[in-house]
Amino acid sequence: MLITAYGGASGARYFGIFMGVGFLQFCIPGVLAFQANNITSHSKRGVASATCLIGGGLGGIIASVSFKSDESPHYTTGIWVTFGITMVSICLTLMMDFHFWKTNKKARETNGQIEGMSGWYYTL
């Protein structure tokens, strides 16, 4: 992503766009699968899926405001906003993975239940 903003040659900038688009294509199905696999009831899963899709819509609104036409062709504000949101998403995912790991470990050690279901564990 930062290659796109600060790459001097057109080839480097196209490479940055190629890498950004290529790696971001799996994010939406990955996030939806992550939340769907770690929620027990259908009603909670439906609300979580809707919340994820609302987040995607908000991303479009943020992008339309942060990529300013007067910053063309570098769009540094938009790229840094996108970079910041991506880093926050990565940190939140790692925190959830750690929480799920601890909860699974505790449930295995004590033969406990997760969300009232015995034998059910979070997917990491």
For residue 124, tell me if it sits in a domain: no
How many Å apart are CA 14 and CA 12, to the nearest integer? Answer: 5
Residue 35: domain span: 2-118
Domain assignment present for 123: no
Do 40 and 119 meet the contact criterion of CB atoms below 8 Å apart? no
DSSP state of 71: G
Is 25 within a domain? Answer: yes
**Is 70 domain-assigned?**
yes
Q: What is the pLDDT along the chain (124 residues), one digit of tens a residue?
A: 777 777 778 888 888 888 888 777 777 788 888 888 898 888 998 999 899 889 889 988 998 999 999 988 788 899 899 889 888 988 998 999 999 999 999 999 998 888 888 888 999 8
Give CA 109 to chain center in angstroms: 31
Q: pTM of the entire structure? A: 0.78
100 falls within a domain: yes
Q: Which amino acid is at 94?
A: L
Rounded to 10 degrees, what is the CA torsion of 41, 43, 46, 47? -110
Q: Are 121 and 37 in contact (CB under 8 A)?
A: no
* Number of domains making up the chain: 1
Bridge partner residues of 117 (DSSP): 114
| Nearest one of 62, 91, 55, 89 to 78, comparing CA atoms | 62
